[in-house]
């Protein structure tokens, strides 16, 4: 089983309706079991970073196979590019 780190997600989850927060938490926990599921896409220009959709939200995470670590970086709405803009600000 992979180690899981949440980062900014804890704060973000508190701002969501409980049903949506539970849906996102379930998807994040699935990363712990299979971080490279075929439905999860690697981000172009960001090696080791992936995205997965959960309802109307997008989860961006980093997977380090050597350390057996999944780190959730960002969670945001899918209907705009804000998640990618935030990622660019974070990683440069």
Per-residue pLDDT of the chain (92 residues; tens, 9 = 90+): 566 666 666 666 667 888 888 898 899 889 988 999 888 999 999 999 999 999 899 999 999 989 889 999 988 888 888 889 988 998 87
Q: Please enumerate, as own/partner, the contacts of 44-51 that have beta carbons within 8 Å and a separation of 24 or more.
A: 46/87, 46/91, 49/73, 49/87, 49/91, 51/83
Pick the CATH number of 3-91 from 3.30.750.200, 3.30.2310.20, 3.30.565.10, 3.40.190.80: 3.30.2310.20
Question: How much is the pLDDT for 42?
Answer: 95
Question: How much is the pLDDT for 49?
Answer: 95
Would you say how long the chain is, in residues? 92
Question: How much is the pLDDT for 82?
Answer: 85
Question: How much is the pLDDT for 32?
Answer: 86
Question: How much is the pLDDT for 12?
Answer: 66
Question: How much is the pLDDT for 25?
Answer: 87
């Amino acid at each position: 089983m992979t180690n899981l780190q949440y980062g900014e997600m804890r704060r973000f989850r508190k701002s969501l309706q409980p049903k949506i927060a539970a849906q996102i938490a379930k998807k994040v926990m699935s990363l712990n079991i299979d971080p490279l599921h075929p439905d999860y896409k690697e981000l172009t220009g960001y090696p080791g970073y992936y995205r997965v959709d959960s309802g109307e939200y997008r989860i961006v995470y980093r997977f380090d196979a050597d350390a057996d670590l999944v780190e959730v970086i960002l969670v945001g709405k899918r209907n705009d590019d804000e998640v990618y803009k935030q990622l660019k600000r974070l990683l440069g």
